[in-house]
Chain A
Amino acid sequence: MPCPDENQTLAFVEGRLPEGQARQVEEHLDACPACRALVADLAREAAPGQGSGPADPEATRPDLGQAGAGPALRRGSEVGRYVILDLIGRGGMGEVYAAYDTRLDRKVALKFLHQTGPGSSRRLLDEAHAMARVRHPNAVTVYDVGDLAGQVFVSMEHVEGQSLAAWLAAERRTWQAVRSVFLQAGAGLAAVHRAGLVHRDFKPANVLVAADGRVLVTDFGLARPALGDPAGSGGTPAYMAPEQRAGGPADARSDQFAFCVALWEGLHGERPLQGGALRPPADPGRAPAWLRTRLLRGLQPEPAARYPSVDELLSALARDPRRARRRLAAALLGLGLLLAGGVGAYAALGGRPAPCQGAAERLAGVWDEGRARAVEAAFLGSGAPSAPQAFAASRRVLDGYAADWARERTGACEATRVRGEQSEELLDLRMQCLEERLTELKALAELFLAADAAVVERSTEAAQSLSSLAGCARAASLRAQVPPPAEPDRQAALRSLRSRLAAVKAGHEAGRSREVLAEAEAVLTGGQALGHPPLTAEAGYWLAEILARLDRPDEARAVGLRAAGDALAGRHLALLVRAFAGLVQRAGPGREGAAQGPVWLELARAGLAALGPEPELEVLLLRAEGQWRFGQREYRQAVEVLEAARARSLEVYGPTHLRTAQVLVNLAGALGQLGGRLEREIELKQAALAVLERAYGRAHPEVAGLLASIGRAYWRAGRAAEGRPFLEEALGLQERLLGPEHTQVAATHEALGAVLGKLGELDAELAHRQRALDIRAARVPADDASLATCREGLGLALERQGRHAEAQAQFERALTIAEKAFGPASQEVAFQLLHLGQSRVLQGRPAEALAPLEQALALRQAAVAAQGELYLANPHQALGRALLALGRPAEALEHFREALAIVERAPEPPAANRAVYLCWLGLALLALDRPGEALAPFEEAVRVQASLQAYPPELADSRFGLARALAASGGDRARATELAGQARETFARFAARRADLLAVERWLATAGRGR
């Protein structure tokens, strides 16, 4: 046979040749390499997903701008952990390859994104990370995002099937079938919007109809204006909303418009608009009029006239006025679940067999609409003030988890049964893992059904703590674990223990640690008797967590270590990492923690490295390390580690997850200790507060705790007045929610006392401080570390009252405690030495102050690397004051200058401290008889302190200093007298400043006579 002609070749590739002719062509291809290569090229061009139905003008028009020829990456080439299989698509945004993920043992679609200009890769990466947060059964899952050889890539779910465009073109569908597919695509689009993304290019070619009937939106958030694109919008003109066509910003409502164009086209076979004007369909009988009417609202040229959101559009489209309203309820309730179940229903509609159905059935009675309603009733009946928010937030999480579970289960099954990419053995492991997750979900739902106020208060956290489903897709780690016993009776025992453990875990996460303690111990004992180390390890891990929560750290440590051992024996690496992370997190502030922390940390890291990428565990470990370093007062490292934890957590969990909020709080705390970054610290805490409030409302202990910590941050930055309302609200909430004797109440008393002291309300300060000490002292031994700072605060309050001897006694006790608890070279000791020295100066014993102050300075200098130099300023200032009191003003001046230089180098100089140092600098200059030079520092100190509403005696110090400098340098006498008068009034109100009051009066008397 001669070579087939053009039409014949094409007909062969497109399957239009009769069998006999096709055989002839095949025989020819066997002998003609040139024709075979040509046929192969044509087959490549007609790759799936390109849409081969009636020609779409956009698709037919030659893409002359595309310079690329063959695929840039060859089959078999390795890109990072991926092996390239085929080029499956190429478009304006980049190339898409089918690839094999060697690490996670699955087939993926790998999309390399074109950069649109210099610096665009960062933005692409950001957007790709946002895409990765979209988790919905109707949106293609993004697995991984990265940067390879300078090109941003996204790895995502590989979907076997065709585009919606091809599906629509393949045959004429009923309007019900078209609507059903679009409702699913719309649910995916709505999920994209909920993640804060705009699709920008929604069209049938960007929706996939999988071989199993699933409908998935893809390419969301990626379309962008191409260089030289006349419309400048990045979308496809035929589907573009007027505002997008005009080059304006696209938003969710522009996507809604595109969706309506596409659905209209799907229903009628033609587009609704021509030249911007609506065109009635040629064959209106293809779809009901009410459906068109509802689409018209989404097609309004004015975005504000469309539906407020795609969700509302979808419910309007789902509501068939001709039918009973029963369908509406079904369509709106448990959307995720329904869609997961709808996969099977749809597959039946499309006439394809669906061997992997049944996920939705498994969820029935575990988490379904009935359960959700019962849980809602239980929450509202608990009387917890946060019940409505808590239910809404928990429900969101559990609905999402259930939908993800259904999808994972279907996906796992299909990988083996439909696509044949996965062995039966791996399928078994994944299914077992998923069954364990379902047990967890069941246990949590049951706990929620019997929720009391305490459970409600932690419900969202408990819901978000359900074990990650992604872990069930990680082949290597599943395979590594010691397999479960083969004997049926032991298997049954294992299942029963697992289900009891799930209840323990749910109870603990929901704050019922005390109640589940005995059961946790029983499960551990049962696990040991069964002799299945992976289970023993998990039981031990949770027992350790429970013991730690119950303030039994020594037992927690012992049990936790044992759990790590069992994890190793059971080759349960994920649990090994968790167990060590728990140990690190709780290693504590003391010397023991300093010695053990690094060892456990190293072991946890090794486990993580052996396990491969486990983003959830990475966050867990980074956070644990941050908390441990914080406890060790290594604030700089803590900030670094926690910044990394924050970045990772944002990727893994997103900004509104409680885990992210926890990391934000830890990070803010470390920043606060590091000092000088108040705005960022407060910003982080406010962000965390918003997450917590969203989950629980205001009346929640953690909300109260965060309010208190914002108050403390303001106080540390010298902005006491701003901190006060936060602390007062926190104290009120905590006394109500936790009881008046709680240690957190004590801590808030301390902070509020400090703020009030700063504001000059000294009696109130002393009362709060004393209350704090009483609460703490009743709960812990006399030499407990927590009493050191408490006594320190009380000493400072006494000092401000002028009760110096009592103050010194508190500082000395604090020093003794600190030396024992933290070690003689610890920073805690430096604090107490500093206070002791200052107290001696104030008591007129400056010579005795020099030794402790110099020691404090030396201790702090040794820790500059970890803490930053800001901590050096106060010891310099205190030494300066001692030296000034000893009549050595020249040396004092150097210390004040150093203190000033240090605060001024800080990124956010602490204004209040700086003003005090300026005042002392002026005083040293006065003592050196250089009043002219003292003017500027005093003026600045007065200005700052007046604007900050600083501690009034400090402002009085500066005013009196300025008065003397003015008088001595021949300045404005009247102003000097006025300033001194103001200072006198202030000092008169503070008993501790009696000596200063006398000095001002003496000076005024002298100055009044003139000099």
Chain B
Amino acid sequence: MGELDEALGAAWEAGARAWPGVDLPREAFAAWLAARLPPGGQGLAALAALRAPDLYLACAAARGDPAAQRALGGLCAELLRLELPRLGLQAVELDDLLQRVLDKLLVAAPGRAARLEQYAGQGALRSWLRVVARREALDRKALVVREVPWQEESLEDVLGALSAADPELEQLKGQYRQEFKAAFGEAFGALDARERNLLRHLVFDRLSMEQIGALYHVHQSTVSRWLAKVHARLLSGTLRALGGRLRVGRREADSILRLIQSRLEVSMRRLLGDGPTEPD
């Protein structure tokens, strides 16, 4: 118990150093921390994994310390500002939005605790708040988060992103639009969830290989291997599906396929920019 006590003290000191203007009694923080430790004997190890300064701020704000609430407000305002352009919201809506987020974070409602109490201290507070802010902004936009089947949103966009880089592919796509779209959709649908997400992260979210690697906790060379595999599957799937659909003579079909293959190849490479390819 002595060791744990000492560690709690150290965590409190770390918090106090990080937030000099924030007032939080040591005992209150210790209780807050203790409530977030798993039951059982590994208290000390679990404590080491927690983000003490972040929890310190959350605890103080939840307890009503004005300096902590100001800091929290500043952080939320900054995160919300990042959301505005994405959702097409106006700057004047920021204050209102901020108020709603802070209410949600700090005020308990009948039947549920203040949201801030749910912050477990395992990830960065900033990231945690970002999730809250995004959700709130989406609610505001009345974009109810709903599940959609992938076909509705992504196919056109993936295809668009691929062909925007290449006028020739664009032309081909126009010529055999229906066939191409169906074939590509078939191939895309045959991928598994992770493969589709990888491609979307790359195409829509514009994450780098490193960032995708960080997300899946693998080295970027692994990501690059995955993507190469996705690329190959997508390409062969599209061609196979297209071959069955094109109502043209065999020779013409062959030449169209060859053309599509080479163009799609180029587009994918361009998209996978920093993949294991080498521009000449």
| A421 partner residues in chain B, CB cutoff 8 A | 274, 276, 278
Taken together as a complex, chains A and B put the C-alpha atoms of A532 and B189 apart, in Å, by 56
From residue B186, how far is it (CB to closest CB) to chain A in Å? Answer: 17
Q: Is the Cβ of A48 less than 8 Å from the Cβ of B214? A: yes
From residue 82 to 105 of chain B, which have CB atoms closer than 8 A to chain A?
82, 85-86
Find out whether the CB atom of B211 lies under 8 angstroms from the CB atom of A30. no
Complex contacts, A85 vs chain B, CB 8 Å: 208, 273-274
Measured CA separation A362–B118 after assembly (Å) = 59
Docked-complex contact A43 and B131, CB < 8 angstroms: no
Docked complex Cα distance between A623 and B276 (Å): 41
Does the CB pair B211–A38 fall under 8 Å?
no
**Residues of chain A lying within 8 A (CB to CB) of residue B147:** 28, 31-32
B179 within 8 A of A: no
- Hey, which chain B residues are within 8 Å of A98, CB to CB? 208, 210, 274
B200 touches A36 (CB 8 A): yes
Q: Is A35 interfacial (CB 8 A cutoff)?
A: yes
A100 and B224 within 8 A (CB): no
Contact partners of A44 in chain B: CB under 8 A: 205, 207, 211
Q: How many residues of A contact B (CB 8 A)?
A: 66
**B71: CB under 8 A from chain A?**
yes
A69–B130 alpha-carbon span in the complex (Å): 13
The verdict on A16 contacting chain B, using a C-beta distance below 8 Å, is yes
Whether a CB of chain B sits under 8 angstroms from the CB of A33 is yes
Contact of B120 among A7, A31, A46 (CB under 8 A): A7
Nearest chain B residue, comparing its CB with the CB of A33: B153
- Return chain B residues, CB-CB under 8 Å to A88: 208, 210
Residues of A within 8 A of B217 (CB): 15
For residue A54, which residues in chain B have a CB less than 8 angstroms away from its CB?
48, 51-52
Rounded to whole angstroms, the CA-CA distance of A47 and B207 in the bound complex is: 10
**Residue pair B82, A69 in contact (C-beta under 8 Å):** yes
| Closest chain B CB from A82 CB (angstroms) | 12
Q: Which positions 12-62 of chain B face chain A at CB distance < 8 Å? A: 14, 17-18, 48, 51-54
Least distance between B45 CB and chain A CB atoms (Å): 12
B window 193-228: CB within 8 A of A = 193-194, 196-197, 200-201, 204-208, 210-212, 214-217, 219-221, 224
**Chain A residues with CB below 8 A from B214, complex form:** 43, 46-48
A13 to B216, CA, bound (A): 8
- Known interface pairs A14-B123, A38-B134, A426-B278. Does A6 touch B205 (Cβ–Cβ under 8 Å)? no
Q: Are B206 and A74 in contact (CB under 8 A)?
A: yes
Instruction: Indicate with 1 or 0, residue by residue over B124-154, a CB within 8 angstroms of chain A CB atoms.
Output: 1111101110110010000101111110011
Chain A residues positioned under 8 Å from B126 (CB to CB): 45, 60, 62
Query: How many contacts A-B (CB < 8 Å)?
Result: 183
- Is B134 touching A61 in the complex (CB atoms < 8 A)? no
The answer to whether A31 touches B127 (Cβ under 8 A) is: no
Shortest distance between the CB of A231 and any CB in chain B (Å): 15
A37: Cβ under 8 A from any B Cβ = yes
Do the beta carbons of A30 and B197 come within 8 Å of each other? yes
CA distance A47 to B217 in the complex (A): 12
Does chain B have a CB within 8 A of A5?
yes
Query: Is B78 part of the contact surface with A, judged by Cβ < 8 Å?
Result: yes
Given the contacts A47-B210, A57-B17, A423 and B278 also touching, CB distance less than 8 Å = yes
Cα distance A45–B148 in the bound complex, in angstroms: 26
Judge whether B81 is part of the interface by a CB distance below 8 angstroms.
yes
User: Closest B-chain residue to A41, C-beta based?
Assistant: B130
Indicate whether B122 reaches chain A with its CB closer than 8 angstroms.
yes
Chain B residues positioned under 8 Å from A60 (CB to CB) = 18, 51, 53-54, 124-126
Q: Does B279 contact A (CB under 8 A)?
A: yes
Given contacts A26-B197, A55-B18, contact A76 B125 (CB under 8 A): no
Cα of A54 to Cα of B216 in the assembled complex, Å: 21
A519 to B238, CA, bound (A): 64
Contact A69:B85 (CB < 8 A) given known A7-B118, A40-B201: yes
Q: Is A422 an interface residue (CB 8 A)?
A: yes
The residue from A7, A48, A55, A64 contacting B78, defined by CB atoms under 8 A apart:
A64
Instruction: Say how far A196's CB is from chain B's closest CB, in angstroms.
Output: 34
B194 adjacent to A26 (CB under 8 Å): yes
User: Could you say which residues of chain B place their CB within 8 Å of the CB of A76?
Assistant: 273
Question: Given the complex, which residues of B lie within 8 Å of A52, measured CB to CB?
Answer: 124
Task: Please pick, from B51, B53, B118, B224, the residue contacting A6 in the complex, using a CB distance under 8 A.
Answer: B118
B245-277 contact mask (Cβ, 8 Å, vs A): 1 or 0: 000000000000000000000000000011010
- Which residue in chain B gives the minimum CB-CB distance to A1? B147
CB pair A35–B210 under 8 Å, yes or no, is no
Is the pair B138, A34 in contact by a Cβ cutoff of 8 Å? yes
Is A419 interfacial (CB 8 A cutoff)? yes
A195 located at the interface, meaning its Cβ lies under 8 Å from any Cβ of chain B in the complex: no
- Distance to closest chain A CB from B146 (angstroms): 8
Q: How far is the CA of A530 from the CA of B35 in the complex (A)?
A: 82
State the CA gap A35–B86 with chains docked (Å).
14
> In the docked arrangement, what's the CA distance between A24 and B88, Å?
30
CA of A70 to CA of B126, assembled, Å: 16
When distances are taken between beta carbons in the complex, the residues of chain B under 8 Å from A15 are 216-217
The closest CB in chain A to the CB of B134 belongs to: A38
Most chain A Cβ neighbours within 10 Å, of B52, B200, B274 = B274
Which of A11, A26, A28 gathers most chain B CB within 10 Å? A26
The complex places the Cα of A107 from the Cα of B75 at a distance, in Å, of 34
Contact pick for B18, options A30, A61, A160, A422, CB 8 Å:
A61
Closest to B217 in A: A15
Do the beta carbons of B131 and A10 come within 8 Å of each other? yes
With both beta carbons as reference points, the residue of chain A lying nearest to B270 in the complex is identified as A76
Tell which of A37, A55, A70, A420 has the most Cβ of chain B within 10 Å: A55
A55:B278 contact, CB within 8 angstroms = no
B122 pairs with A29, CB closer than 8 A: no
Query: Any chain A CB within 8 A of the CB of B74?
Result: yes
Q: A43-81: contact bitstring with B at CB < 8 Å (1 yes, 0 no)?
A: 111111000101101001110101001100011100000
Q: Which residues of B contact A522 (CB under 8 A)?
A: none
A756 to B216, CA, bound (A): 83
- CB of A585 within 8 Å of the partner chain: no
- Cross-chain contact A46 with B145 (CB below 8 angstroms): no
A62:B74 contact, CB within 8 angstroms: yes
Q: How far apart are the CA atoms of A54 and B47 in the complex, in Å? A: 11
Residues A36 and B130 in contact, CB atoms below 8 Å apart: no
Per the bound structure, the CA–CA distance linking A793 and B130 in Å amounts to 85
In chain A, positions 290-335 with a C-beta closer than 8 Å to chain B are none
Residue from the list B10, B205, B221, B276 in contact with A37, Cβ < 8 A: B205
Complex CA gap A28/B274 in Å reads: 28
Determine the residue in chain A with the shortest Cβ distance to B115. Answer: A6
Minimum Cβ distance to chain B for residue A727 (Å): 60
Q: How far is the CB of A899 from chain B (nearest CB, A)?
A: 65
Chain A residues positioned under 8 Å from B216 (CB to CB): 15
* A818 smallest CB distance to B (angstroms): 57
Q: Are B127 and A70 in contact (CB under 8 A)?
A: no
A176 on the interface (CB 8 Å rule)? no
What's the minimum C-beta distance from B256 to chain A, rounded to whole angstroms?
28
Query: Considering only CB atoms, which chain A residue lies closest to B157 in the complex?
Result: A33
Contacts of B85 in A (CB 8 A): 69-70
Tell me the nearest residue of chain B to A418, going by C-beta.
B221
- Check if B273 sits within 8 Å of A422, measured CB to CB: no
Knowing that A26-B194, A41-B82, A42-B130 touch, tell me 18 more A-B residue pairs with CB under 8 angstroms.
A5-B118, A6-B115, A7-B120, A10-B122, A15-B217, A28-B147, A31-B150, A33-B200, A34-B134, A36-B205, A42-B131, A60-B54, A60-B125, A64-B75, A98-B208, A102-B279, A211-B219, A419-B221
> Which 3 pairs, one residue from A and one from B, show the smallest C-beta to C-beta distance?
A40-B205, A10-B123, A57-B18
User: Which A residues form the contact surface with B (CB < 8 A)?
Assistant: 3, 5-7, 9-11, 13-16, 26-48, 52, 54-55, 57, 60-62, 64, 66, 69-70, 74-76, 83, 85-86, 88, 98, 100, 102, 105, 107, 160, 211, 282, 419-423, 426
Write 30 A-B pairs (CB below 8 A) sorted by A numbering: A10-B122, A10-B123, A15-B217, A26-B197, A30-B197, A32-B148, A33-B154, A33-B200, A33-B204, A36-B197, A40-B205, A40-B211, A43-B212, A43-B214, A45-B126, A46-B214, A48-B211, A55-B51, A55-B52, A55-B54, A62-B71, A62-B74, A64-B78, A66-B78, A69-B81, A75-B273, A86-B207, A88-B210, A105-B278, A211-B219
